[in-house]
Structure 1
């Protein structure tokens, strides 16, 4: 066998390419072998018969385009994988935000992510279509087909990259919402644990007061009412939502803390209730004695002063006796509530008793005070007159300070006060003067003067 020019005779023919090897049996090759001709010589024959024309080589240019298309395919696959990974990561962030935040901004973020998801689906669909449309492993892949495959795959990659950029920008815009959501998530576990510990502390406190023969039924009922809330806390935020779980944990902690505080104070409250019962019972007894002294006071008032001086006190003895009777009835009810350890009821009843006794004390004291003031003004009305005139003169000096003439807004009520005082003094000249009317008039004059003084000081303090 003659060697091809430029090839040593001892060198074997180069092996066929993998593409050619995959072609399988060749009828032409079999026929040539039957004729006993070497394969290479037979391949040269057509060229000789063709008069020295060029032949078409399928390997070089097609393989170059195939390599370029494969590189484009690999790049598109990488872009697809990176986009898918970024979408998965961002979906976790969006789900975190939506689980914690129900604000308009959070709802808008969810809808924007859904819109981006549709863009991602469309870009992914184009990529998959481009991959499925071209088999780059075909042995007879033509250069034009490989070039089209490269173009379509590159376009699919570019689209995937653009969507990835949009996704990255969207992710950056979520950072404030995500930070807030993560902060709330970081609060979740500690808040739930604090709620559990508060419930445990409240339960232990109730056990402690029961050992002191204090039933604490009301507190126990309030604690039992928190049991469904604890069940929901144990079920977790995945079922009830982060925000709702946070609010529930804080509410349970707050209510359990209140139960704990009341349980710890219960022994003191019981002792305080016992003390108030004794104190108010003693006070009611004392007021019973004092109320019996009102009638002699009224008798003296009737004997020495006009009816106008004591008519409004006529019903004090009867009212005082009724108030004391009501107070003693409420005291018995309070004692029964305390014995039943209904602390809220006992406290409310004791407050009612105190109000009744305060009103009785004021009414009983009013009769004695009335007699004392009437005795004083009957003996020396001039002291009351001078006291009132001094208040008027002091207000007049203040009104004239820094002025040559008084402000009419101040002068008019002061002039009226002077006239009112003179009328009250004139009323004392009768045979049976109404000293109580005189005292109420002088008190009214002093109140008017005090209002004028307050007005002047307020205006000057404001820079007017």
Structure 2
């Protein structure tokens, strides 16, 4: 049902008063305005209440129409586009600031410092164009009822210019961001490594502590390992304080070092029972060997006696001190064994290991000295019985080298021929020492050995040169 609008003579609408006739002092325009006002009073109440709203806000713009309204619309569109450009630039700058902060936290290189300086300069450029954009927005009220076409056109031009400036700076920002790729990639890689590295360090320390507890539970003290583990405590405190306080590269390096050292402690702790058993075995083995060498050293004197009786002094003079030196070395080895045993009982594992290494070196040296006397007697016996075998062995080595030197050549290279010729002469002189009533067999043996060493060097030189393309 449609409501019937109230009639003018209805009690709900007051009757318009009759307007007095216009006086002579009222202009034609004033009379027209007065007439329009009186006519408004005669309208129905609903319509009268609606009209003021039509004059407020955008509804009034239809009264102006034409070029001004078109310019207003274009200016508003330019304002919207500039706002969008401003928002995109602000977002891009925020994203890039995160990248710069990432690089700053990780990298202190000249390239990183230069990137920070360039970003600050770019920030000042962004501030400038942003300020001009805000000025352009604040300078023009596009919602004014009396906005003129020229004002709207001027506002549009300034807003378009602000938008273009914002977009240009955004492109500069994007180019700068592209150039940060390598620095940012390195920084992000280090940051990605940071948390796992710190966690590995913590887990490594925990594993080392557990291994040390297990070793102590078996009755081994492992004091040195405990001291090494305790020294890592301050490093764990620094790791827990975080990269913000100590820097990402330093924290990453610290975490990796702590993980390595903790792992070394863990491995040594787990191996400690095996090491203790190994030290016990070496103590027994080296003690047995020292006893055996004591017996063998006592057998050197009879060998020397035979050498003195059957051969010239030159064959045995250098062995005269072997029994005395062997005995002294064995006594030193036995003393170090006692010290190693004490270190083992006190669980000073590094000391025990070092002392056992010293014992082994002493016994090796003694073994060589004791063996030298027996070896000398066997060599002299062999050459006295049949020197020709040693002569043939040396001549064969010389002839073999000579054939190699002549291979593929009409004349040998003097660098090869000369030492081989000298070796032939040296061998003949050595053979000459065997003549006479008291031949010096040891000199003969040392000479033939020297000749074979010389020949071997020549052969190696020839093969190296030919193998290298000479």
Q: Which TM-score band (shorter chain)?
A: 0.7 to 0.9
**Quick one: distance in 2 between partners of 1:36 and 1:409?**
134
Query: What is residue 377 of structure 2 aligned with on the other side?
Result: 371
Query: What is residue 39 of structure 1 aligned with on the other side?
Result: 33
Match status 1:177 vs 2:183? yes
Query: What is residue 332 of structure 1 aligned with on the other side?
Result: 338
Larger displacement relative to structure 2 (65-74 or 452-461):
65-74
Larger displacement relative to structure 2 (348-357 or 407-416):
407-416
Match status 1:299 vs 2:293? no
Q: 2:407 aligns with which of 397, 401, 407?
A: 401
Shift of 1:237: 2.4
Map 1:35-434 → 2, pairs under 5 A: 37-39=31-33, 59-60=64-65, 61-434=67-440
Larger displacement relative to structure 2 (218-227 or 71-80):
71-80
**Quick one: distance in 2 between partners of 1:311 and 1:421?**
24
Shift of 1:241: 2.6
Deviant stretches of 4+, over 6 Å = none
Shift of 1:442: 0.8
**Quick one: distance in 2 between partners of 1:32 and 1:199?**
103
| CA 165–404 in structure 1, closer or farther in 2 if over 3 Å, else same | closer
**Quick one: distance in 2 between partners of 1:339 and 1:147?**
100
**Quick one: distance in 1 between partners of 2:327 and 2:386?**
35
Q: In the alignment, is the contact (CA less than 8 A) between 1:32 and 1:39 conserved in 2?
A: no
Q: In the alignment, is the contact (CA less than 8 A) between 1:72 and 1:150 conserved in 2?
A: yes
User: Over residues 215-251 of structure 1, what are the superposed CA-to-partner deviations in whole Å (9 max), with x where a residue is unaligned?
Assistant: 1111111111111222222222233233222222221
User: Over residues 407-439 of structure 1, what are the superposed CA-to-partner deviations in whole Å (9 max), with x where a residue is unaligned?
Assistant: 322222111111111111111212222111111
Q: In the alignment, is the contact (CA less than 8 A) between 1:32 and 1:38 conserved in 2?
A: no
Query: What is residue 47 of structure 1 aligned with on the other side?
Result: none
Shift of 1:355: 0.5
Q: In the alignment, is the contact (CA less than 8 A) between 1:294 and 1:367 conserved in 2?
A: yes
Q: 2:459 aligns with which of 430, 445, 453?
A: 453
Shift of 1:58: 9.7
Alignment gaps of 5+ in structure 2: 1-6, 8-24, 38-61
**Quick one: distance in 2 between partners of 1:66 and 1:462?**
89
**Quick one: distance in 2 between partners of 1:463 and 1:42?**
120
Q: TM-score, normalised by structure 1?
A: 0.84
Q: TM-score, normalised by structure 2?
A: 0.83
User: Over residues 50-107 of structure 1, what are the superposed CA-to-partner deviations in whole Å (9 max), with x where a residue is unaligned?
Assistant: xxxxxxx994455544444343333322222221111011111121122233344333
**Partner SS state of residue 406, structure 1:** coil
| CA 36–102 in structure 1, closer or farther in 2 if over 3 Å, else same | closer
The Cα RMSD (Å) is 2.6
Shift of 1:40: 6.0
Q: In the alignment, is the contact (CA less than 8 A) between 1:32 and 1:42 conserved in 2?
A: no
Alignment gaps of 5+ in structure 1: 1-9, 11-30, 44-56
**Quick one: distance in 1 between partners of 2:89 and 2:329?**
85
**Quick one: distance in 1 between partners of 2:231 and 2:145?**
78
**Quick one: distance in 2 between partners of 1:146 and 1:40?**
34
Shift of 1:396: 2.1
Q: In the alignment, is the contact (CA less than 8 A) between 1:116 and 1:167 conserved in 2?
A: yes
Q: In the alignment, is the contact (CA less than 8 A) between 1:98 and 1:106 conserved in 2?
A: yes
Count the aligned residue pairs: 421
User: Over residues 24-61 of structure 1, what are the superposed CA-to-partner deviations in whole Å (9 max), with x where a residue is unaligned?
Assistant: xxxxxxx979x994516589xxxxxxxxxxxxx99445
Shift of 1:368: 1.4
Shift of 1:179: 3.2
Query: What is residue 18 of structure 1 aligned with on the other side?
Result: none
